[in-house]
Structure 1
């Protein structure tokens, strides 16, 4: 994903192992989500904590699905903010992997690895020779056929092997890429929670990429990536009926004293005051979740989105991995102008040339943070944002957590803080309900 993401992490403790079949008898399950920069993260750096909001906010590259040589993740993997602790193999080997709602391939770094020696995860590489349940998949296998043809390397490698193994390449918007072998093995989620007790769930014969080559800016803390999109090989699609094609999360600010949650199955279903739902839209060969944004209100001023799409099409990606809200440039300019008018304070130049922030203020000039009512009007669902969703800052500078883009628009994870957000792939709807996520 393109930026610093929230961290998905399952914390291990004594547990009862349940096989895949048992998962269908549960009322879903829940795991912890831990922001990589929070004090709960193993990568927490107290010395750098005050700089969090201004680092790793680089712009997303433009995406044009009609001209892409192969499907791309919607974010840069090097700036991921979510890591998911997943165990693969028998016996299980733990990996910290980026959680990415904008891609569908699950992959981990495998032995041999051509560029892992200097990374933090070098001691957590997966060695397929040590797992008795590991299997390489062939080019004729159904999962391999589920990959777009231009991802598969079946016509160019291993020509002497019959049937050939499913080698593949997967690219990302910043031109990073991975090359691996599509494989199957057991996924284990330890210390998941179901019915108030800690359990461990095993999912045999799960599909993933055993990656030996990476290039580009993958995060040094991550040993892989877990695709949570709607594509054929994503974790969500593979769990499928066992989670009733539903998952949800409730994200907390980085400074919170507890962890966020990711829920699967019936435990993901939302209820409560203020619940709103909007249709989600799928694009061919794009695993992202698109919504239709009709307008944005700043105070009493309503700005209609000039980038409305045809029926059955979305115009903004709902993404737990991208931090900021990204709007098409002309639409963003109108929104920013309305925010300036509402605040009526002198803006300052953003001191960080590598960040996306375009509207900033000297925090020392604030008696308090600006209280502006900002509402995102999706089809059938109006979502009212608070200051925590729309501004980022420290004791010196505060910036609007929105930016312009010529690529896809994004409704990022900062906008989703203290909302429960449900993805129901069966009904093709995304739901929001405001919540104190420390209580979920």
Structure 2
């Protein structure tokens, strides 16, 4: 017995020395029982794998406009799949449909070789779906397909913590969707792209900053063995899968259980912030206490988990002047698709009749200002003005989305796009797009606001905040 105790004591000392050595560079902890923080990266941040330094600001903005159009189409066709759109217009939009604005870098698996115990991937944050998935190297098998990916395909069979879910034994198995004895999944997209594979439990590592990471075991995810994706980021090879944050039981917020208690939060920095566009996704007790936040109801329809987070939008104001937009324009009633809070969408997409009223009233508002000339940049925002001298966001009005129970006040930095030009001039545009169907309140309009989603209470809490301060 004494020899056994001596061996155990020696092993403990070695383990302590090993941990102390490595903790000088990176701190690894098991997930706290009541909270979690994950670093999010904007796709146009220099830290993003999508960052293209050769692109101009206007080119990046144009790509985000296409992404917003496609995101709106994606949400709308999920509700009304039998509607028909012009095929050429559809093709130009679906090339960007799955490209979420924010990504999370996560580690997946447990491996004994190499400097890290997991393999790191960038997953697109998506509040409009609940499944977490990435490509597995079994997609190289005969008869299966992989889309281009720069990061290594996940080698599931080499991970000691990988476990496929056994059919009819796990609550997260999709009904009547098994391959042999194991649970499977299939995700379909509006351009007939698909991802199919097995559902498995695995250890995930989440990064809260460059030196802090937390390990969370038994996360159920889709291990994709057959992918046919035609979206542009798949062709660039920087995309590896999705991190679902939706209503359903497969979403990360639900799987975290008591660590999240059904709550997650973010506070997005403005695109013009020179400190960067990163932010934090916080769960449970890691969510900062913000007394006095007002709330609106979160809604879902027909028990569909992948429809996104609906809210009741009642109207819009310009400089505190309420516009005459009927609330029915924003309701979920065919052919209109309701209103969704969607941080994965870059710029808000406003149902066309409401957008036309907003644009018309802004034209009246700007007609009272001197030194403005309306311009129409090709394939850009609809409403733009050239100014005789640079003014930045000065003399631009705030806009307000009137939600049931709370006003989302959007300052000019979140309502307008401003671009400097030669000769000491600049131009500005309304940073929103019209759409025939659903209304999305996108991430550009969500900046400098604290959002707390409480799925159990079915509430969204909102309040203004400087998101450059430890968001």
TM over 0.5: yes
1:264 matched residue in structure 2: 283
Tell which structure's C-alpha radius of gyration is larger.
2
Indicate the structure with greater helix content.
2
- Cα distance, 1:234 vs structure 2: 0.6
Correspondences of 1:29-428 after superposition (within 5 Å): 29-50=36-57, 51-58=59-66, 59=69, 60-61=72-73, 63-65=76-78, 67-68=80-81, 77-91=97-111, 92-113=118-139, 118-121=148-151, 124-145=152-173, 147=174, 152=177, 154=178, 158=179, 161=180, 163=181, 165-191=182-208, 199-212=212-225, 213-217=227-231, 219=233, 220-256=237-273, 257-258=275-276, 259-272=278-291, 275-283=293-301, 284-287=303-306, 288-299=308-319, 300-304=321-325, 305-307=327-329, 309=331, 315-344=338-367, 345-352=372-379, 357-362=381-386, 367-369=391-393, 370-396=395-421, 397-428=427-458
Q: CA RMSD in A?
A: 2.9
TM-score (norm 1): 0.82
Runs (5+) with no aligned partner, structure 1: 1-11
- Given the superposition, is the C-alpha separation of residues 279 and 78 from structure 1 closer, same or farther in structure 2, using an over 3 Å criterion? closer
Q: Distance in 2 between matches of 1:389 and 1:148?
A: 43
Q: Distance in 2 between matches of 1:14 and 1:138?
A: 35
- Deviation string 1:312-369 (CA, Å, 9 cap, x unpaired) is xx931111110111121111111111111112244322322xx5x2212235666444
TM-score (norm 2): 0.77
Following superposition, which runs of at least 4 residues in structure 1 exceed 6 angstroms of deviation? none
Work out which of the residue numbers 14, 35, 45 in structure 1 matches 2:26.
14
- Given the superposition, is the C-alpha separation of residues 372 and 185 from structure 1 closer, same or farther in structure 2, using an over 3 Å criterion? same
* Matched-pair contact (CA < 8 Å) for 2:323–2:358: no
